[in-house]
């Protein structure tokens, strides 16, 4: 009996053992099957990417002229939204996002699936909405649903992901079009910006973002990454900043002056440049034709006409020709020239003077002071073609001014072989220049004969906020110092008693030259460009080269009447700012 009992017990243990083995085999097989099935289990890994931002642009007085704001996209899968709690979601989302309940409801009702509620949520709102997403999970606003086609169970909440960036210009049209603007570029689902005009373009390589950051790790139920030692991360490196040499307050004062005179003169545009004579640092580059980046209707306003517009300069060329003649030892200031009573025939053409002289005999110096076309046309003949052309190019005519702006138009000079053309160029006809070229050329007279390149940007700012000075190009000797002083005194005399008397400012030293040139189309005069270019110095050592260009004024088109008074107003603003000290 005992043997039979032991045998039965042994059989039961064997059967039990077989069952265990069989169950283990089935379990192992199921694991293999499950491991190879296409399942829609929740992904417990998540990633966050924060794109690097474009760098800032600062004024000389540390005001932010351009900055970048990060934007976020908010989306929700309406299939995960509990119908009984839809109104709760709409109400809470509207409060956090600032969007109207009507708009949110319309977006949700429009589509059964993934719906983008907004593309332009800022960083602060995005943080609030991430907090809201967690709250909505706790409130059970979202529920899972089963895909009818593949049977997968899907559970998503509200996603807050970066969508791109937006460029911010806090001061509307101030410093435009100089600062320039950016265009969108698509980087996958992220929108970034690249410079198209102005400082934004010239320093695009510096301002452009360098390296995006990312964070990869485990997530909690509200899609937030759990910060622990297992996360993978890369540092974000934003674009560098650029600080320009132009103070915001002074720029605004110059712009207000130009706006006032544009209206008074009924001009197409008024442009002004103020430059430190010893360094070339631009203190102001302003125009009456500005645009608000949020509402650009006239694309012509995007052009920086101080470098892009070329024109016949008129009589502001006379001091340059006079300086070349002095350098080449072809004239002395006391040389006498016959002005023939204000009318002179050169070749087949008649040249006239706008200003009458008491005598037909005028000194070479007074040819410039009182702006005699006849006198300078005759003096120009003393230069051979090579010396004439080299002299003009030495002063930067037809050469890029080297200012840190793109799209500069260099203008042109024709052949200088004929006497008539030499004469025409002497008083600013027959060649085209841009305004910045003339500012750079006149600066030679106020800088002991040395030429410096105009420069707008002063510092590059690295990721630590440290400013690195942008170096200066070597200065170039164009005139011996004694000749530069002769021309400088001539220009001071032109303001004291000559054509530039309306540029006089009490208590500071002012010198300069007026210019007026016809604009012709199909042989007819259709307008004028008038200008005054010179300098304003004080006895404390401050030296500035200042120029004003009035494009097509309808009233008072002579440079002595239109541009010279604007020059004076700018110099007075510099005194108010403490940049010039009255004697």
User: pLDDT tens digits for 81-135?
Assistant: 999 999 999 999 999 998 999 999 999 998 888 899 988 888 889 999 989 988 8
Q: How far is CA 406 from CA 180, 191, 240, 458, in A?
A: 10, 24, 19, 17
- Region of poorest pLDDT, from 117-131, 233-247, 287-301: 287-301
Is 80 exceeded by the pLDDT of residue 287? yes
Cis, bond preceding 177 (omega within 30 deg of 0): yes
Which is more confident, 538 or 234? 538
Phi, psi of 524 (to 5 degrees): -110, 145
240 & 389 share domain: no
Residues 558-569 have a mean pLDDT of 97
Which is more confident, 84 or 223? 84
Is 90 exceeded by the pLDDT of residue 164? no
Residue range of the domain that includes 63: 46-244
Question: Is position 409 within any domain?
Answer: yes
Bridge partners of 192, per DSSP, are: 185
198 & 273 share domain: no
238 & 270 share domain: no
168: CATH: 3.90.1310.10
Question: Is position 3 within any domain?
Answer: no
Give the pLDDT band of residue 343 (cuts 50, 70, 90): very high
Please tell me the predicted confidence (pLDDT) of residue 40: 43
221 & 323 share domain: no
Please tell me the predicted confidence (pLDDT) of residue 540: 94
CB 552 within 8 A of CB 528: yes
User: Which of 536, 542, 541, 540 is closest to 567 using CA atoms?
Assistant: 536
As a whole number, the mean pLDDT across the chain is 89
Residue with tokens 């993978």: 232
Number of domains observed in the structure of the chain: 2
231 & 277 share domain: no
Please tell me the predicted confidence (pLDDT) of residue 466: 96
End-to-end alpha carbon distance in the chain: 136
Is 50 exceeded by the pLDDT of residue 38? no
Q: Can you tell me the distance from the alpha carbon of 374 to that of 353, in angstroms, rounded to the nearest whole number?
A: 6
Is 90 exceeded by the pLDDT of residue 34? no
Please tell me the predicted confidence (pLDDT) of residue 303: 94
Question: Is position 136 within any domain?
Answer: yes
Residues 320-325 have a mean pLDDT of 98
Phi, psi of 292 (to 5 degrees): -90, 125
CB 253 within 8 A of CB 577: yes
Please tell me the predicted confidence (pLDDT) of residue 192: 87
Please tell me the predicted confidence (pLDDT) of residue 309: 97
Q: Can you tell me the distance from the alpha carbon of 549 to that of 317, in angstroms, rounded to the nearest whole number?
A: 14
Please tell me the predicted confidence (pLDDT) of residue 29: 61
HSE-CB of 128 using CA atoms within 13 angstroms: 12
Please tell me the predicted confidence (pLDDT) of residue 251: 98
Please tell me the predicted confidence (pLDDT) of residue 191: 82
Q: Can you tell me the distance from the alpha carbon of 7 to that of 138, in angstroms, rounded to the nearest whole number?
A: 61
With a pLDDT cut of 90, the percent of the chain lying above it is 68
Residues 368-380 have a mean pLDDT of 97
- What b/e string do you get for 168-191 counting C-beta neighbours within 10 Å, with b at 16 or more? ebebebbbbbbbbbbeeeeeeebb
Question: Is position 6 within any domain?
Answer: no
177 & 87 share domain: yes
Pairing of strands 269-276, 153-154: unpaired
Q: 205, 225, 244: which is the final residue of a domain?
A: 244
313 & 374 share domain: yes
206 & 190 share domain: yes
Give the pLDDT band of residue 42 (cuts 50, 70, 90): very low
Question: Is position 311 within any domain?
Answer: yes
HSE-CB of 141 using CA atoms within 13 angstroms: 23
Question: Is position 9 within any domain?
Answer: no
Q: What is the dihedral of CA 162, 163, 164, 166, to 10 degrees?
A: -100
Which is more confident, 300 or 22? 300
Question: Is position 547 within any domain?
Answer: yes
Which is more confident, 37 or 581? 581
């Amino acid at each position: 009996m005992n043997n039979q009992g032991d045998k039965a017990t042994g059989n039961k243990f064997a059967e039990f053992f077989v069952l265990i083995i069989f169950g283990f085999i089935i379990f192992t097989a199921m694991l293999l099957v499950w491991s190879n099935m296409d399942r829609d289990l929740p992904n417990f890994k998540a990633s966050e990417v924060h794109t690097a931002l474009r760098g800032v642009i600062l004024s000389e007085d540390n005001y932010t002229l351009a900055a970048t704001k990060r934007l976020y996209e908010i989306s929700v899968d309406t299939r995960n939204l509990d119908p009984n709690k839809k109104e709760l979601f709409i109400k809470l989302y509207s409060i956090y996002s600032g969007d109207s309940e009507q708009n949110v409801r319309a977006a949700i009702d429009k589509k059964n699936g993934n719906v983008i509620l907004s593309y332009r949520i800022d960083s602060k709102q995005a943080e609030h909405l991430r907090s809201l997403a967690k709250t909505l999970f706790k409130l059970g606003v979202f529920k899972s649903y089963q895909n009818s086609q593949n049977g997968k169970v899907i559970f998503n909440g509200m996603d807050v992901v970066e969508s791109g960036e937006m460029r911010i210009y806090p001061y509307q049209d101030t410093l435009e079009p100089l600062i320039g603007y950016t265009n969108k570029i698509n980087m996958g689902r992220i929108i970034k910006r690249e410079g198209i005009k102005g400082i934004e373009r010239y320093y695009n390589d510096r301002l452009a973002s360098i390296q995006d950051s990312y964070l990869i790790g485990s997530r909690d139920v509200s899609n937030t990454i759990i910060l622990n030692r297992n996360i993978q991360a890369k540092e974000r490196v934003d674009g560098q900043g650029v600080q320009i040499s132009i103070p915001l307050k002074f720029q605004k004062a110059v712009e207000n002056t130009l706006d006032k005179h544009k209206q008074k003169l009924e001009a197409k545009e008024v442009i002004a440049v103020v430059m430190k004579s010893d360094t070339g640092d631009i203190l102001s580059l302003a125009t009456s034709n500005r645009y608000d980046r949020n509402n650009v209707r006239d694309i012509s306003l995007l052009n920086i006409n101080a470098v892009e517009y070329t024109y016949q300069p008129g009589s502001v060329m006379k001091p340059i020709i006079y300086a070349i003649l002095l350098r080449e030892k072809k004239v002395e200031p006391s040389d006498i020239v016959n002005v023939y009573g204000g009318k002179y025939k050169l070749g087949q053409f008649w040249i006239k003077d706008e200003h009458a002289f008491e005598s037909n005999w005028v000194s070479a110096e007074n040819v410039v002071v009182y702006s005699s076309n006849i006198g300078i046309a005759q003096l120009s003949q003393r230069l051979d073609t090579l010396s004439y052309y080299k002299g003009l190019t030495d002063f930067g005519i037809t050469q890029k001014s080297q200012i840190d702006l793109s799209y500069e138009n260099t203008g042109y000079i024709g052949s200088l072989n004929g006497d008539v053309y030499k004469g025409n160029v002497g008083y600013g006809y027959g060649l085209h220049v841009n305004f910045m070229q003339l500012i750079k050329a006149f600066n030679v007279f106020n800088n002991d004969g040395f030429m410096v390149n105009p420069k707008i940007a002063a510092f590059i700012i690295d990721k630590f906020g440290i400013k690195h000075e942008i170096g200066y190009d070597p200065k170039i000797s164009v005139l011996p110092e004694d000749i530069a002083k002769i021309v400088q005194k001539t220009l001071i005399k032109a303001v004291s008693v000559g054509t530039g008397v309306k540029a006089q400012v009490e208590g500071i030293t002012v010198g300069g030259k007026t210019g007026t040139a016809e604009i012709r189309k199909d042989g007819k005069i259709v307008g004028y460009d008038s200008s005054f270019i010179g300098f304003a110095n004080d006895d404390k050592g401050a030296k500035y080269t200042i120029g004003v260009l009035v494009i097509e004024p309808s009233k008072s088109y002579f440079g002595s009447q239109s541009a010279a008074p604007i020059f004076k107003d700018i110099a007075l603003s510099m005194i108010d700012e403490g940049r010039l000290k009255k004697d």
